[in-house]
Amino acid sequence: MTETSIVKHKDLSERTLGILLLLPAALLLLVIVVYPIATLFWNSLHSADPNNPQAEELFVGLDNYTRAFVDDRFWNSTLKTVLYVVVTVPGALLVGLGLALLANQPFRVKWPVRLGLLLPWALPLVFAGLIFRWFFEYKTGVVNDWLAALGMEPPQWLSDPTLAFWAICIAITWKASSFMALMLLAGLQTIPRSLYEAAEVDGATSWQQFVEITLPMLRPAIFVALIFRTITAVQTFDIPYAMTGGGPGDATETLAMYINKMTLDFLDFGYGSALAALMFLISMVATSGYLRYTRRSAARSGE
Amino acid sequence: MKLYKLTLAALLLLAFPLSASAQTTLRIFTGGQQRPDVMRKIADEYQKKNPNVKVEVEVGGATSEAQQQYLSTVLSSKDSVLDVILIDVIRPAQWAAQGWAEPLDSYLGADKAKIMAQYLKAYADADQVNGKLIALPYFADSQFLYYRKDLLEKYKRPVPKTWDEMMDTAKAIMDGEKNSNLQGFSTAGAPIEGTVCTYLVPLWGAGGELTREGKLNLDAPQAREPFQLYGRMKQSGVLPKNIAEIPTDRIRIDMQAGNLVFGMTWSYVWNRLENDADSKVKGKIGVTTLPHDPGGKSATCIGGWQLAVSAFSKNKAETVKFARWLSSPEVSKMQAILASHMPVFPSVYKDPEVLKANPWFSEALLVVEGAKSRPVTAQYPQVSDVIRSNMNAYLAGTKTTDVALGDMKSRLTPLFR
């Protein structure tokens, strides 16, 4: 009797202590995450009169959301965003995997490789955008300089919708690969050497080792990296903003750029908030797809 | 004697923190393109005259949009960090609607009409929205045709009056010079604010209007003129191939490097072409009115920058005093000499020192007096976005005249209802 009560008492105090320790973090999250998100949803149900923006905002229900469904520019920018995701997520995974495998080699001096991996990641996105804008510049850019040296007609990379799309994809892939590589390198280093040694004894080729050992062991790291990359790819803003400003016309405009224009340029906070909520939904759908897949494959491997 | 000195020192020590605490710090915001170095010199002058005031110059983005994005964030959150803000001439309507600018009428009092009558009329009008004075004019601006005097003389060509004359001249010079870096004509074509004027100037030069009595007027035949003009220029190779990537300052850079025969750009360019150490065209540049259609009249976009007092400033009285000094003939003259910023007072254009630094100002007054305004509406950012993105798409070759004009009509119509 006394024993249990002591245990209970200990339990309680531990729980209280736990709650007390969590409290600061929870409060902080409440103020800087929950409150803004709640405000965003609240804003998305309201609309200001554009001719009298200082007046009280009116409750408009789901009007802002129905407006998005008939807004061509919303659909176009969403489609462009999805295309950037579809191209740059696998692109960055492939390049990042290659870089991680390279960095995992037993170099005598490790820091230049590590630095090379870190540098694109540490660079602010908008810098990367500006650098690539100058690479692809029509007259003074290095890309057209190379093409001219090869005797090819230099194209106008940034004012052709298709070429501008690919130029932006190249820049995003370059920028994102280094983050991918860092995540994958961490995963690679957890794979025990003994597995490879055993495979070598069994006479497996290095390709077989890669497919049978490296890839399966790396899967958790790949999934985490993919989820992070997909969420940031849905939010693509800085690089196209710096490279084309969404041009030509609205051809390379992403959803995040449209939201930025709607809120900061047009000051239409209601509709802008609704668009942001829709973008959140897209992110959720994309990541829940990954999560379901990992859960299923985890269940399968548990059988 | 020694005692006297010590006492004095003690008194000074006592007095110094006192005077420091009585000092007011005012923060003025200016764009990177509006010569912040000159603003600093002018602010230093003010500090000399008003030892109790310290002026901090905050430098924002290079483009009008980049500046406004930052200002929208600061002012939507009612931040008091800025006192005086330099705003583009297209902004007062939006600023009035948002309540960001302190109306200045009460500070001017009974003298308001008299004071406003001293300015160029276009600016006195632009800065008053529904009878309220939203900002004070700082410097005037409009677009001009910059041309290479030396090349025109070499090929014995007159200064062109019409667009077609200009195209012919540009083509003849490009063919004659055989320099692959030399381009005939350039204007803003990237999806930025300046590209709105790229559409409006030829529209006005053909006798067209974007709106008539507040209603959209793009069904008029002149609405197609700008597209057709740039289409012809592109075809003949007079326009740069990457015209859809050209922002405003690129025209200055190309002109300064000697790679441009004609450029449609703003008044700040003159000072840079004449004074920058790396300018290859010193003394070779002429400035004139923009070309027009045969039978039309030369037109230009009105530009220029205004001084708004933040509605959230904590030192409004001191701020208004500073803003009124910045908007004076004295400062207009300083700017004209230091930066070739066009004065907002007609009288300053005739000042001999100003004319010595900017000989073309003698004609410029007429141009500014005749310059036209971009549409005045609280929703100007939306209007601007429609015009510039369609003009940009047309210049990039991704939209035809019909599609670009059709999209402009359908997206502008709800904004002018």
Which residues of chain A lie closer than 8 angstroms to B245, CB-CB?
137-138, 156, 158-159, 247
Residue A153, Cβ density class (10 Å: 0-12 exposed, 13-18 middle, ≥19 buried): exposed
pLDDT at A302 over 60: no
pLDDT tens digits, residue range B233-248?
A: 999 999 999 999 999 9
B173 shares its domain with B281: yes
For residue B259, being part of any structural domain is answered with: yes
- Whether the CB of A147 is below 8 Å from some CB of chain B: the reply is no
B193 shares its domain with B291: yes
Cis peptide before A248 (omega within 30 of 0): yes
Instruction: Give residue A8's pLDDT band: very low, low, confident or very high (50, 70, 90).
Output: low
B386 shares its domain with B400: yes
pLDDT tens digits, residue range A86-123?
A: 999 999 999 999 999 988 888 788 788 888 888 898 99
pLDDT score recorded for residue B13: 55
pLDDT tens digits, residue range B116-148?
A: 999 998 899 999 998 899 999 999 999 999 999
For residue B276, being part of any structural domain is answered with: yes
Least confident of A88-92, A172-176, A285-289, B108-112: A285-289
For residue B322, being part of any structural domain is answered with: yes
Tell me which chain A residue has its CA closest to the CA of residue B68.
Answer: A265
pLDDT score recorded for residue A114: 80
Which residue intervals of B188-328 are DSSP H helices?
Answer: 194-205, 225-236, 248-256, 268-275, 316-326
Which residues of chain A lie closer than 8 angstroms to B385, CB-CB?
261, 265-266
Q: What is d(CA B15, CA B24) in angstroms, rounded to the nearest whole number?
A: 16
B66 shares its domain with B6: yes
Which are the contacts of B81, defined by CB distance < 8 A and separation ≥ 6? B27, B74
Question: How far A264 CA sits from the closest chain B CA (Å)?
Answer: 6
pLDDT score recorded for residue A301: 59
B175 shares its domain with B94: no
Closest residue by Cα to residue B141 from B69, B87, B82, B206: B87
For residues B169-202, one letter each, b for 16 or more C-beta atoms within 10 angstroms of the residue's C-beta and e for the rest, the string is bbbbbbeeeeeeebbbbbbbbbbbbbbbbbbbbb
- Looking at residue B176, which CATH number applies to its domain? 3.40.190.10
Which residues of chain B lie closer than 8 angstroms to A243, CB-CB?
none
Q: What is d(CA A263, CA A274) in angstroms, rounded to the nearest whole number?
A: 11
Q: How many domains does chain B have?
A: 2
Q: Are strands B285-288 and B132-133 parallel, antiparallel or unpaired?
A: unpaired
pLDDT at B165 over 90: yes
Q: Do A246 and B378 touch (CB under 8 A)?
A: no
For residue B78, being part of any structural domain is answered with: yes
pLDDT at B396 over 60: yes
Which residues of chain B lie closer than 8 angstroms to A250, CB-CB?
389, 393
Instruction: Give residue A298's pLDDT band: very low, low, confident or very high (50, 70, 90).
Output: low
Structure tokens at B12: 């000074």
pLDDT score recorded for residue B8: 58
Contact at 8 Å (CB) between A88 and A240? no
Q: Do A137 and B97 touch (CB under 8 A)?
A: no
B42 shares its domain with B177: no
CATH of domain A64-302: 1.10.3720.10
- Whether the CB of B396 is below 8 Å from some CB of chain A: the reply is yes
Q: Do A265 and B191 touch (CB under 8 A)?
A: no
Which residues of chain A lie closer than 8 angstroms to B389, CB-CB?
246-247, 249-250
B120 shares its domain with B8: yes
Q: Centre a 10 Å sphere on the Cβ of residue B386 and count the other Cβ atoms it contains.
A: 17
- Averaged pLDDT for residues A259-268: 92
The minimal CB distance from B245 to the residues A138, A250, A260 is found for A138
Q: What is d(CA A197, CA A220) in angstroms, rounded to the nearest whole number?
A: 22
B79 shares its domain with B204: no
Question: How far B16 CA sits from the closest chain A CA (Å)?
Answer: 43
pLDDT score recorded for residue A271: 95
Which residues of chain B lie closer than 8 angstroms to A53, CB-CB?
97-98, 378
pLDDT score recorded for residue A252: 95
- Whether the CB of A264 is below 8 Å from some CB of chain B: the reply is yes
Percent of chain A with pLDDT over 70: 93
Strand partners, B306: B87, B137
pLDDT at B324 over 50: yes
The minimal CB distance from B241 to the residues A138, A246, A267 is found for A138
Q: What is d(CA B225, CA B362) in angstroms, rounded to the nearest whole number?
A: 31
- Whether the CB of B72 is below 8 Å from some CB of chain A: the reply is yes
Which are the contacts of B350, defined by CB distance < 8 A and separation ≥ 6? none
- Averaged pLDDT for residues A147-174: 93
pLDDT score recorded for residue A1: 47
B349 shares its domain with B254: no
Structure tokens at B17: 């923190």
Percent of chain B with pLDDT over 70: 95
- Whether the CB of B400 is below 8 Å from some CB of chain A: the reply is no
B99 shares its domain with B136: yes
- Whether the CB of B337 is below 8 Å from some CB of chain A: the reply is no
Q: How many residues belong to chain B?
A: 417
- Whether the CB of B69 is below 8 Å from some CB of chain A: the reply is yes
pLDDT tens digits, residue range A54-75?
A: 777 889 889 999 999 999 999 9
> Which 104-143 residues of chain A touch chain B by CB within 8 A?
137-139
pLDDT at B44 over 80: yes
- Whether the CB of A251 is below 8 Å from some CB of chain B: the reply is yes
pLDDT score recorded for residue A303: 44
Query: Which of B245, B248, B260, B389 to mutate: most A Cβ within 10 Å?
Result: B245
Q: Do A53 and B76 touch (CB under 8 A)?
A: no
- Averaged pLDDT for residues B69-92: 94
Least confident of A235-244, B4-13, B367-376: B4-13
pLDDT at B378 over 90: no
Question: How far B72 CA sits from the closest chain A CA (Å)?
Answer: 6
- Whether the CB of A76 is below 8 Å from some CB of chain B: the reply is no
For residue B374, being part of any structural domain is answered with: no
For residue B227, being part of any structural domain is answered with: yes
B111 shares its domain with B218: no
Q: Do A158 and B242 touch (CB under 8 A)?
A: yes
Instruction: Give residue B10's pLDDT band: very low, low, confident or very high (50, 70, 90).
Output: low
Assign residue B213 a region: left if phi > 0, alpha if psi is -120 to 50, beta otherwise?
left
Query: Which of A39, A139, A253 to mutate: most B Cβ within 10 Å?
Result: A139
Instruction: Give residue B18's pLDDT band: very low, low, confident or very high (50, 70, 90).
Output: very low
pLDDT at B159 over 70: yes
Domain holding B115, by residue range, is: 2-141+304-365
pLDDT score recorded for residue B214: 82
pLDDT at B285 over 60: yes
B339 shares its domain with B248: no
pLDDT at B20 over 60: no
CA angle B216/B222/B224 to nearest 5° reads 90
